[in-house]
Structure 1
Amino acid sequence: MRIDIWTDVVCPFCFIGKEHLNQALESFEHADDVEVHWRAFELDPSLPAQPDSTLAEAIAKKYGASVEESAARQRQMAQLLQTYGVEFNWEDAKFGNTLDAHRLIQFAQTKGKGAELQDALMRAYLENSQNIAEHPTLLAAAKKVGLDASEAQAVLDSDDFREAVHQDEAQGAQIGIRGVPFFVFDGKFAVSGAQPKEVFDQALDQAWADSKNLLNNPEQGSSCCGGGGCCS
């Protein structure tokens, strides 16, 4: 079975959705026969490498909300992430461009390290307030998960995997993805948002049995991040 997951590394709900899927896979009797493929989705491709505003300011601008309202949402998100053992330092978070992060994740997948790098980069952003657009941050995460530093540097110094990222985004748009996380099981069953573990349990069972096709009419979950920011 193949699971394709569209995410962005600066999306808190993507981290939560990833954790719920992992929990479901732990209890899925056919887990050894599941292949996970990470697909790229940039929440805001126009973001600069060096953020010129705080996270609360950036989200407020995207939503058309006040900075105070945006900050309140980030505090709520931080409280939610604490239940997953993650301390979200949102006040210091650096909401920068994620294209190079996605390119490096594509490279990591060719080495069997996609999931590990995805997790490392998410934690670098959420817990350590690191700028995911900066190459030293990306290289540190690559080395942490066991990737060859010189190979990772070569990827970052080139345009390698840029087209693969854009192809992921184009395919996502084609099947109607408006926010992430978004999970597609064997190209037939879709789960949108950071749904509870039980939803992933059901999706795994349904995909394995090939009994119902949800891809043509996926329900847009509320726990997701999209071009307008993260909803709750």
Structure 2
Amino acid sequence: MNMSMRIDIWSDYVCPFCSLGERHLSLALENFAGREDVEVIWRSFQLSPEAEKEPQDSMVESLSRMKGAPTAQIEGMLGQLAAQAEQVGLDFNWREGVNANTWDAHRVGQLAREKGVGMAWDEIVKDGFLSRGRNIADHDTLREFAGKVGLEAEEVNRVLNSEEYSDQVNADIATARQIGVQGVPFFVFDGRLAVSGAQPVEVFTQALEQAAAAK
């Protein structure tokens, strides 16, 4: 009997809560007896499909405009999130961050998954946004990241210079809508148990145990 477990994760690269929630899941997996048999599949989702590919504003300015909130309020919110991230070893460099469009990053992400380096791609792109203030809509930045995870430059250029993998990105987003995803991160364990948001480690531990018991 195949006792492996599959976890589908819908997330967006410019979502700090996604990085935080995924770190909490990772910490829960460290103490999970069946962790070697867990397969994680990243699914595309866009929180701000209207975001610019060449952002002119800082993250604070962009969020202030989107939410209609004063910059001081946004700074306070991001500061609190950065403190939470620091507690689990993440560096949220929100002062230098930019809220760029993630469409092309998701398309290259689909290529990365096809080539077996989806997890490495997710990590390097999220780190670029979260900790390094990189514009992850910039094609040169995406090429740099792609090279670091072992993707062939010719394939990456082909994807970036076309609309390749758009159907796959749209399919992930459509599936999310069908199952009622309102925001990310959103985790589905073996297609039956869902966890929404950057929940504490204990919640993910319980979800892993429940999914394992259901087998």
- TM-score, scaled to structure 1: 0.86
Superposition pairs for residues 195-206 of structure 1, below 5 Å? 195-206=199-210
1:164 to 165, 168, 187: 168
Aligned counterparts of 2:27 and 2:71: Cα–Cα separation in 1: 35
Superposition pairs for residues 187-202 of structure 1, below 5 Å? 187-202=191-206
% identical equivalent positions: 46
- Tell me the CA shift for residue 93 of structure 1: 0.9
- Tell me the CA shift for residue 127 of structure 1: 1.3
Moved runs in structure 1, 4+ residues, more than 6 A? Answer: none
Matched, 1:71 2:95: no
Matched with 2:136 is 132
Over residues 36-75 of structure 1, what are the superposed CA-to-partner deviations in whole Å (9 max), with x where a residue is unaligned? 1101110100111011322112112222211221122122
SS at structure 2 position matched to 1:150: helix
* Runs (5+) with no aligned partner, structure 2: none
Matched, 1:153 2:176: no
Over residues 103-145 of structure 1, what are the superposed CA-to-partner deviations in whole Å (9 max), with x where a residue is unaligned? 1111111111111110100111111111010011111111112
Matched with 1:47 is 51
Aligned counterparts of 2:89 and 2:33: Cα–Cα separation in 1: 26
Matched with 2:8 is 4
- Tell me the CA shift for residue 185 of structure 1: 0.6
* Runs (5+) with no aligned partner, structure 1: 212-232
2:60 to 48, 56, 59: 56
Matched with 2:187 is 183
SS at structure 2 position matched to 1:92: coil
SS at structure 2 position matched to 1:73: helix
Superposed CA RMSD in Å reads 1.4
Which amino acid in the other structure matches residue 90 of structure 1? W
Matched, 1:22 2:33: no
Matched with 1:116 is 120
Which amino acid in the other structure matches residue 13 of structure 1? F
SS at structure 2 position matched to 1:90: coil
Matched with 1:93 is 97
Aligned counterparts of 1:140 and 1:79: Cα–Cα separation in 2: 29
Aligned counterparts of 2:198 and 2:92: Cα–Cα separation in 1: 17
Aligned counterparts of 1:197 and 1:99: Cα–Cα separation in 2: 30
Over residues 151-188 of structure 1, what are the superposed CA-to-partner deviations in whole Å (9 max), with x where a residue is unaligned? 22222122111111111111111111111100001110
SS at structure 1 position matched to 2:95: helix
Aligned counterparts of 2:8 and 2:164: Cα–Cα separation in 1: 21
Matched with 1:217 is none
